[in-house]
A = this chain, B = another copy of it.
Amino acid sequence: MSLAPEISEKLRLSFGRQSMMATFGAEIDEIALGQVTLRAAINDGCKQQHGFAHAALTFGLGDSAAGYSALSVMPLEAEVLTSEMKIHLLAPAQGEYLEAVGKVIKPGKRLVIVQAEVFAVANDSRTQVALMTGTMVPLLPR
């Protein structure tokens, strides 16, 4: 099943309203039904104390990718909120940019269970730096 164009448009508009994504320099890479990929350059303003990308960037990108994957399977009028998220940091986040692939594990009316994998990408390398699982909640107008 493919994604309706108005859902894709809704996601892009929502993403555009997240000023944190602009601060991170994040972009949408790909939107599909139940799977959304985001990316952000690892630049000078997003580091932790050892010079790697900060976990807040990894988390923020993965959380948004996961949230939008959930939103892609919800009704057009729905919004989405993260209820909880766990992140395993698997390797230092170094390279040119981070790529976060969010996807729906289990859709549902009241909860959508999601996963995100975050990769650090450099010239020829693509290293998984995080694995995340979480719970997204649809918000529907009354």
Contacts and interface: CB of A to CB of B under 8 A. Distances in A.
B24 A56 contact: yes
A83 to B, nearest CB: 6
A19 interface: yes
| Copies of this protein in the complex | 4
Nearest to A111: B83
A18 B89 contact: no
The number of chain A residues touching the other chain, given as a range, is 35 or more
B133 A105 contact: no
B88 A105 contact: yes
Interface of A: 14-15, 17-20, 22-24, 44-50, 54-57, 59-61, 63-64, 79, 81-91, 105-106, 110-111, 113, 115, 131, 133, 135, 137
